[in-house]
Chains A and B, each alone.
Chain A
Amino acid sequence: MDASSKPIFGEDINKETESLYKKEKKLGEGTYAVVYLGRHVKTDRKVAIKKIKLGNARSGLDMSAIREVKALRELRHPNVIELIDVFSHKANLNLVLEFLDMDLEAVIKEKSLVFMPADIKSWLMMALRGLDHCHKCWLLHRDLKPNNFLIASDGQLKLADFGLAREFGDVQRVMTSQTVTRWYRAPELLLGATNYSGAVDMWAMGCVFAELLLRTPYLAGSSDLDQLTTIFKARGTPSEDEWPGINKLPMGFKFEQHPRPQFSELFRGASDDALNLMNQMLLFNPTDRISAAQALRHPYFTNHPRPTEPAKLPRVQQPMAATADSEASGKKRQYNDAFDDVFADNEGGALDPVHASKRADLRISSPA
């Protein structure tokens, strides 16, 4: 290695990285970060630069920034957002991410679009591939929901927002149950489990699958307790047989008994194999719940119809500039009410209240 041409010192490497990108315009702003449209000065590649503000962080770098950088630096997969580079400037951390201008939530909400069964299969397959890669790398995403699945211009779906991601697999290490946006939160988390696995992400994935079929959130509880009731009403209260040990979970108590409804009545258009897979993703017992790798081998994906090619999937027509402007004005940001208590980093430590209120979701673009 030629020492004179390549910088050795950390700050020189950082400066060199910074000089590779230019910011073009602001796309959106939250309390936690600002997102810019940017370009690589040499290749002209379009990128999104997420500038994480740390100005007033009392304990320095924020946990969600650390988690996101730590996870994305390791993951490389066509269905996971690419973290191209990272650089710091003064007290700002800048993540250079691949530019993705649409998310699945916007597509689901655009009622003028008609989803064919093959489209849903295609999105779900890409989402599961990305998730399977995370789980193989022993990483939990812990915040899967439609607006964390971003969509590239070629139609590829990508997992994004790794601010709650962490490694798993060590049974001795306690994890917080206060994670995942409520409507997508697995029943074991709602019951306070502190040891869990990829099954929590699979539950969320099952909810997203249902939402693709229904075009509306499937299990929309209004509070944590109501969330469980909502789940039990929709899925039937689990018996001790179905979920052995349910009474041993922290905070566990007796629930109202709800009968199991006929799923095929609610999901009228869904094929049997689709319903079968969805039901396996939404099993109460986390150890029975299907894994991402198993789900990808489910007959649903090999049966007719073939998944739609990504480039041919329905898209939302939205001029970038319009959404960017409305986001920048600060009024347009949509939070679903399930978001309020999603942030927690108190595993083995006290939750810093500043962080809890500071964390804000930020999309590069939001539904028009």
Chain B
Amino acid sequence: MTSTEETERLPQLFEQTSQYRHWRFTPEALEQLRAANNQQGINRVLDGLREEAQVDDEGSSETRITEATNNMLTPQEELQLVNYYLQMIVQTITALTKIYREKHLLRAEAINNIKATAINFMKRFYLHNVVFDYPPKSIMLTCLYLATKVENSFMKIEDFIRPLQDVEQRKGGKVQTKNDDILGLEFVVIQSLQFELAVHHPYRPAYGFFLDMQAYFEDVSQLKAIYDRAQQLIDTSLFTDLVFFYQPSQIALGAFKTAAKEKDIDIDTAYLAQRFDAQSLEVLFPILDEIQETILGFKIISKKNAQAIDRKLILCRNPEKNPNSKLYKKKVADQAETPYVSDSD
């Protein structure tokens, strides 16, 4: 994207993006952040339960607290649960696409961006939140709806939610998803994203590489096959933490290299060595290897696994954030009575 003559003297455009400035981590820093997050989240749950004990006189608060303490999710469990619902984002958008593609509400070329942006929003969200406060099941839909807007594919909330309700009905259950569940969390989500909504994905650089590589390969159909496979690998990469470590173009190239290797085609000498000098390649190759390893090492989180964690989560939710808890209801009622000071002007 930066190959025009006048941009070469300026800092790389990607370095000016919020994604580069605020959403990049070393693997160690990311792990530390999640651990600290989890620890503070646990403290909040315990505080919330103690506070609720004062509101709720039924049942033993001691039992609740002990139960919660014994079932607290680890940072790994939190992550697994979130990752499971990342997969659900893909399922949901696939379902929406089937319904709306003909009506032009969702255009085929927008789907990848919406999907990747929604996944990214959710990953970013849980760097600043814990599942004890906001279970991923509800956050998932808000992230997806917000992503449709951010990716210029606005649809009314009714259009977004109707197919989801239809599915719930077909499964024989009662309709559970409501407009307010999604919209009510929009501010919670957007503030956790620090209001930074522009997200860059590997799909576009991958397309750029595909075009560029055509000058180096005679057999374009073979290249097309690599490109198709690379896109699948990029789909997988979205579920990993690669987006926090590397630039979209690096992930795209890593996917290409992996795809080429699978098909026994050499792009290292045929393409990479032509396009990059030896010094750059020395830096690039370990990055591409790391990307390959992460993508190929990714494992889907099973429904069974997620359900087990979800069951534990019921016991360790923060009542302060749980709309069904007595503490939450009391706080909402209290808040309605106090006027907002700075709005009085």
Identify the A interface with B (CB < 8 A): 1, 3, 8-11, 13-14, 22-23, 25-26, 36, 58-61, 63, 66, 69-71, 73-74, 76, 86-91, 93, 136-138, 166-167, 170, 172-175, 293, 345-350, 352
Contacts and interface: CB of A to CB of B under 8 A. Distances in A.
Given A69-B197, A348-B154, 13 more contacts: A9-B130, A58-B156, A59-B157, A69-B195, A70-B150, A86-B195, A89-B340, A89-B342, A91-B187, A93-B190, A173-B152, A346-B154, A350-B156
Contacts of A136: 7, 13
Contacts of A350: 105, 155-156, 159
Contacts of B92: none
B315 interface: no
A59 B156 contact: yes
A347 B128 contact: no
Nearest to A7: B128
Interface in B109-133: 109-110, 125, 128-130, 133
Contacts of B178: none
B157 A348 contact: no
Contact of B17 (A11, A36, A74, A349): A74
Interface string B145-166: 1101110111111010000000
A38 to B, nearest CB: 10
25 contacts: A1-B33, A3-B36, A9-B128, A10-B129, A10-B188, A11-B191, A36-B345, A61-B149, A63-B149, A69-B195, A88-B187, A91-B187, A137-B13, A170-B204, A173-B109, A173-B152, A293-B6, A347-B152, A348-B105, A348-B152, A348-B154, A349-B105, A350-B156, A350-B159, A352-B156
Contacts of B325: none
B40 A9 contact: yes
B191 A10 contact: yes
A10 B37 contact: no
B110, B128, B152, B155: most-surrounded residue (chain A CB, <10 A): B152
B324 interface: no
Contacts of B154: 59, 63, 345-349, 352
B192 interface: yes
B306 interface: no
B110 A348 contact: yes
Given A66-B149, A350-B155, A73 B197 contact: yes
Contacts of B188: 10-11
Contacts of A352: 154, 156
A88 B191 contact: yes
B105 A61 contact: no
A1 B127 CA distance: 14
Contacts of B1: 138
Contacts of B145: 60
Contact of B345 (A13, A23, A293): A23
Contacts of B104: 348
Contact of A61 (B133, B153, B186): B186
A69 B125 CA distance: 17
B311 to A, nearest CB: 25
A293 B7 CA distance: 10
Nearest to A169: B1
A35 B195 CA distance: 19
Contacts of B340: 89-90
Contacts of A346: 154
B192 A10 contact: yes
A61 B152 contact: no
Interface string B169-207: 000000000000011001110111111111000001000
